[in-house]
Homo-oligomer: A and B are copies of this chain.
Amino acid sequence: MIREAIFHLPYDGGCFPIAEDRVTVRLRAARGDLARCEVVYGDRFCHPPVDQVQEMVKIGHDQLFDYYQAELSGHRLRYAFVLHDHRETLWYTAAGLTTERPQEVNLHFHYQHVHRRDIFTAPDWLADAIFYEIFPERFANGDPRNDPPGTVPWSTHSRPAPFGFYGGDLQGIIERLPYLEELGVNALWLTPIFTSPSNHKYDTVDYFSVDPHFGDLATLQELIRRCHDRGIRVVLDGVFNHTATSFAPWQDVVAHGASSRYASWFKVESFPIRTDPKSYETFAFTPLMPKLNCDNPEVRQLIMEVARYWLHTADVDGWRLDVAEGCDHDLWRDFRRTVKAIKPDAIILGEIWQEAQRWLRGDQWDSVMNYQLYHAIVDFFATGAIGAETFRARLTRLQTAYPDPVQNGLVNVIGSHDTPRIREYTRGDTRRSGLAAIFLFTYRGVPMIYYGDEVGMMGSHDPDCRRPMPWNEEEWDHPTLTLYRRLIALRRQHAVFRRGDVRVIWSDAASNGLGFLRWYQDEVAIVVFNNSRAPRRISLSGRDLPFPVGELRDVLGQRSVDQDGASIRIELEPFSAAILLGNRDGG
């Protein structure tokens, strides 16, 4: 046995409660190394021990490792792994790898006690959400009277200037709600809408007012009311890491230096305030965004007030948190208590670009923007920087990084206002951006569309990715829009995509192909990708599937599926995918 490969983390993605009497455990071993493995477990207070034995199931692999999982019954558990290869059997506990069972029960792994409050739970609607990200200055101009001075004509072909304006506003969103409803999305994330000098408004001047170029409180209230009437939820963007330089407390610090009553609201290295070189901490390195000192009690209070105010005043459905690592964990716990006390099903969605275990333990956020998956999708489908085996490895890493209850609520994107657009990465190739979209809507997690991706918008790095939305339908890529509408409808119709488990069942380096299975209750979906330039005959054997499936139909391309007993064959054109739906055999 390759002993160095054996690994178990007895918390987070390695061991987590899924119900008050159910705990999932995961184990890693070297790829292809184990003949089988099982968990020997029981109530931790039973002396002598009374054992249950649960066979572990292989849930994935990457180039180096196999990953196993099992569900255990009970709420106060001790457990040990028993690993078998063809030559030996080893016990794996906190005492390491041993040939004998450790007699001391305290050296076994434990999940000491399951508590309801320790089970990760996000609002139920999150898993059903299909999000649409709107950058309000560029989505639609509904009220030209509030256009900022110097507003330039609305044109998809113009390249946005860093500080330019096109006149988009909340009234524009209201007017385009029929478009969004027809598209099928049921949740909006608006990038910041509070008063701010910039077009992106990530530099807040007043956290308690709607930017006058976007409308006013009444416009926001009307927008949200109309959204709610249509079953569309609205999440706002909270920028608590930093402010604008025109934020009054910062202006006071600039004017009065160390004697300002706001001096400790920011992270000032030395007074008086200088900008070159800057004498204060900022977002990244921009002097225009002084960093708030989130350790300051008044700043913490301000953040809670902002959270409360918009929940109360506009009935918003949650907060997306910008540069969310800029505040400490204690603040986010307080934020959660504050938000949930007012609206228990409001969501909290943090922006972290790496794995976010520290924030996803149930005490802070409901979800994170899943940029680690984003990079994997772009690298595999859009740029081709990685092949199928590496893509599979990245998926597997994310699959085992978080507890299962987290997974269906992770917010997946294939582009945002902070990235080049997906179609820019494919250099206009809508086959490849289409594959990314098919993956987005069928894989586990909540899909979020960046406005305009559905009509094939192009755009490179910020600010180019923030071009005005084309409303002249002649500028749309209609096949892309058709694809998005079908994918959205499919996801809304089939809980298997929203609630199902997932397993990568096939990958193929030669053809750069990948396939995954999803299942929920009796429903089954198999999604297979030919991510290569050549036509490809995909062949899945029954051994690739954890259980038998009944007759499958291709709901995307209406291709015929050649099913013969357990084996499934389907022809895929270059850079194409099939979405096969069916039921578990006998289901």
Contacts and interface: CB of A to CB of B under 8 A. Distances in A.
A2 B5 CA distance: 9
A55 interface: no
Contacts of A2: 4
Contact of A3 (B64, B97, B325, B361): B64
Given A30-B4, A295-B116, A94 B329 contact: no
Given A94-B354, A371-B106, A330 B117 contact: yes
Contacts of A76: 325
A112 interface: yes
A330 B363 contact: yes
Interface string A393-419: 110010000000000000000000000
12 contacts: A5-B5, A9-B9, A10-B355, A11-B358, A94-B397, A104-B375, A106-B354, A106-B371, A109-B354, A113-B326, A117-B330, A118-B329
A386 to B, nearest CB: 9
A284 interface: yes
By Cβ-Cβ distance, the 10 closest A-B pairs, closest first, are A112-B325, A115-B328, A4-B5, A45-B284, A117-B328, A113-B325, A106-B353, A110-B354, A4-B4, A117-B330
B375 A107 contact: yes
A357 B5 contact: no
Given A363-B333, A375-B106, A354 B10 contact: yes
A379 to B, nearest CB: 8
Nearest to A284: B45
Interface string A3-31: 11101011100000000000000000010
A115 B2 CA distance: 40
A547 interface: no
Contacts of A7: 7
A352 interface: yes
A96 interface: yes
Interface in A322-375: 325-331, 333, 352-355, 357-358, 361, 363, 371-372, 375
Interface in A240-292: 284-285
A65 interface: yes
Copies of this chain assembled into the complex: 2
Interface string A37-78: 000000001100000000000000011110000000000100
Nearest to A116: B295
A79 to B, nearest CB: 11
A100 to B, nearest CB: 11
A285 B106 contact: no
A117 B326 CA distance: 12
A67 to B, nearest CB: 13
Contacts of A96: 62-64, 390, 393-394, 397
A129 interface: no
Interface in A289-330: 294-295, 325-330
Contacts of A352: 112
A104 B353 CA distance: 11
Nearest to A119: B328
A218 interface: no
Nearest to A105: B353
Given A62-B96, A96-B390, A117-B328, 4 more contacts: A10-B354, A45-B285, A76-B325, A113-B325
Nearest to A295: B116
A489 interface: no
B116 A328 contact: yes
A387 to B, nearest CB: 13
A327 B113 CA distance: 8
A95 interface: yes
A237 to B, nearest CB: 18
A501 to B, nearest CB: 24
A331 to B, nearest CB: 8
A328 B110 contact: no
A115 B285 contact: no
A109 B295 CA distance: 25
Contacts of A104: 375
Interface string A377-392: 0000000000000100
A295 B326 contact: no
Given A96-B393, A285-B45, A117 B295 contact: yes
A64 B94 contact: no
